[in-house]
Amino acid sequence: MEEVNRIEMLKSMLLANFAPEIRRGVIAANPKTLDEIKEAALLQERAWNSCCTPPSPFVSSEASPSPIYAVQSSGRTGNQGVEEICHRLAEQVETLAVKVEDLTKQQNRHPQLCYVCNRSGHIARFCPRKFSSRSNQPPRRIRQNYNNESRNYFHLGQSGNSNRP
């Protein structure tokens, strides 16, 4: 399915680069593949240029039509121009396919979840529950009591008690 869409896009981009006189003939031929488009364009180019007579020296060059080429390119034959455009279009399609693939991967990615509350929409650093749980609890104070009786024991903000089990 993707290959069909890719070929259709290449065909439309290739037809857009043809001269209008050639484009009409190629569309009328109703080609199915890129090679058929190329052949039809070259056939139209030859037919158009063969019917036009070369300008005579006695007639101004503005009155006689100039030859029409399938692809408007500078100093190249029609065949080289068509192949070059096909190559450029294929490269553009490849880059677009990569971009589309990256975008679909981003859409299919699962949303980030907060490690504190397991909800999406934020990360643990900005978790509202993390901050609210801190404000509800008294601050922890861990102090070391330096009395001889309770050496190396920690307690939570209470004075040293010598009655220990």
Q: pTM (2 decimals)?
A: 0.35
Q: How many residues does the chain have?
A: 165
pLDDT tens track, the chain, 165 positions: 677 787 788 788 888 888 888 888 888 888 888 788 888 888 888 887 777 655 555 544 455 556 555 555 555 555 667 778 888 888 888 888 888 888 888 777 777 788 888 888 888 888 888 766 555 555 555 555 555 555 555 555 555 555 555
Q: Where are the alpha helices (DSSP H) in the chain?
A: 2-16, 20-29, 34-51, 78-108, 128-136
The pLDDT, as a whole number, for residue 113 is 83
The pLDDT, as a whole number, for residue 149 is 54
CA distance linking residue 34 with residue 148, whole number of Å: 94
The pLDDT, as a whole number, for residue 135 is 53
- Burial class from Cβ neighbours inside 10 Å (0-12, 13-18, 19+) for residue 152 reads exposed
